[in-house]
Structure 1
């Protein structure tokens, strides 16, 4: 028996109880198949069990157990497609279960850097490397994700209580719709924020935990813009701090500003639709602040 971390139970007890129940047997299976020794306490991400292990040759690694879904099924493919110098290495994987054996990194992320703009600079530099790589066959397409949002909008937007917020959300739909005929074909991370870049021995920083998509790199900017929110507030001018972050990302990556704003509108729309379907009837204050800073 193993003690599953409370966060994982909290996140999945209702949505995936069978998967949670399968974790002890899955851990035993991969420890045996891949000749591993558990070497530390079990941890968790939002949707995965993280187990420190040692391989038979003495290499420290991380065993990542996660459920199979649209986000996890192409993770190993993406990490092996990008340049090895930019991302965590995959030692082993089982496509049937999305289980991964990964390089063990240092317990420090870009969120731990005291200077938020330095962290944004590093994130942008990594994005310049990732964004030039074409997406391999089989990865989900941004065009399909965006079309799904447009299809969902008429059902979800009326759930917002404020007519002005409904009108604002329809404007986001229109901005993203303009870009839909040219959705792009690069390999996208989708969740490239400060927690998903970790310190390493062989490189200063490596990217982890992609949710792969094929699309326009301009879709990658929103996570960098609104994560580390307390740092934005600490500047005393949230709107200007948001614009400064976006300007830095654009300066480093060379992404076109109009496309950046259009696809950022799409990312904001995605969050509004998610949160509203989960029961929110007003747009979150942080999302409103990003809209006011960049799209007003």
Structure 2
């Protein structure tokens, strides 16, 4: 039986002289509580799963350069600066095509800023992208003809891209509108990274599947957003289409294998497949 979140966090609050600023709560991979540290809004976070703990090591490694600053840390526990700004990238994306494009640009710039950090030994426990894509490869073997062969084609593109990366950086791994937040005068900063490294373009593909089905699957949105990503990042549009298909296949495979809803990622994957197969 899982222990009470309050009891799990009490020793850490005492250690760092944190003041509660809300109730403690549990997620599938961590226990959190809004707190203040010397008057600064923060979250106390205790990882309860290996993947979450590895993501915490990445946050510490970035040291506030493009990501939420870690104010204190020990083992699987950390105190993370809390976003207090009132701007939302999801709301901006939902405001119309111009706002959606601006949200895409902000996400691209946030990811690029993180990717530029490489001035010290990398954090322990990073997965390479080949390992990250393992479930797509398994799912494609089991479902080669599902969704007009999307999984099979996603596997083909993923293997080709992984065999010829355009670079190797520490990736965020889950760039989307809910993981880049408004930190007021500190700007837009990332939270909740995964623990993965590889081709920089991987980090931009998830933007195409977010922030929700209404935006992601709106007519013309996929093509427009691919163009914005290419403009902001320098990634060739066709290469971005290939990463979009690979990522959508992986995300849909995760969802289908866990009983989740893969509708949005399948829709994005099929759009990527159609664009790749269109006559030049």
Which band: TM-score by shorter chain? Answer: 0.7 to 0.9
Name whichever of 120-129 and 165-174 sits farther off: 165-174
Counterparts in 2 of 1:239 and 1:287: CA distance versus 1, 3 Å? farther
Q: Secondary structure at the match of 1:53?
A: strand
Counterparts in 2 of 1:173 and 1:202: CA distance versus 1, 3 Å? same
Q: Which residue is equivalent to 2:68?
A: 88
Q: Where do residues 1-296 of structure 1 align in structure 2 (5 Å cutoff)?
A: 18=1, 20-42=2-24, 47-55=29-37, 57-70=38-51, 72-82=52-62, 84-95=64-75, 98-106=76-84, 108=86, 109-113=88-92, 114=95, 115-134=99-118, 136-138=122-124, 139-147=126-134, 149-154=136-141, 156-157=142-143, 163=145, 165=147, 167-183=149-165, 184-229=167-212, 232=215, 238-279=218-259, 284-296=262-274
C-alpha separation in 1, matches of 2:233 and 2:63: 17
C-alpha separation in 2, matches of 1:44 and 1:107: 24
Q: Which residue is equivalent to 2:278?
A: none
Counterparts in 2 of 1:54 and 1:232: CA distance versus 1, 3 Å? closer
Q: Secondary structure at the match of 2:80?
A: strand
Q: Deviations over 1:181-214 (max 9, x none)?
A: 2344201111110111111133121111111211
C-alpha separation in 2, matches of 1:26 and 1:107: 29
Q: TM-score, normalised by structure 2?
A: 0.82
Q: Is the 8 A contact 1:175 1:265 kept in 2?
A: yes
Q: Is the 8 A contact 1:48 1:66 kept in 2?
A: yes
Q: Is the 8 A contact 1:116 1:231 kept in 2?
A: no
C-alpha separation in 2, matches of 1:61 and 1:219: 30
C-alpha separation in 1, matches of 2:199 and 2:184: 31
Q: CA deviation at 1:276?
A: 2.3
Aligned length: 264
Q: Is the 8 A contact 1:74 1:212 kept in 2?
A: yes
Name whichever of 167-176 and 221-230 sits farther off: 221-230
Q: Which residue is equivalent to 1:9?
A: none
State the superposition RMSD in angstroms.
2.7
Counterparts in 2 of 1:40 and 1:24: CA distance versus 1, 3 Å? closer
Counterparts in 2 of 1:201 and 1:100: CA distance versus 1, 3 Å? same
C-alpha separation in 2, matches of 1:178 and 1:212: 22
Q: TM-score, normalised by structure 1?
A: 0.78
Q: Which residue is equivalent to 1:10?
A: none
Q: Deviations over 1:65-95 (max 9, x none)?
A: 331222x122233223336342100012232
Counterparts in 2 of 1:166 and 1:21: CA distance versus 1, 3 Å? farther
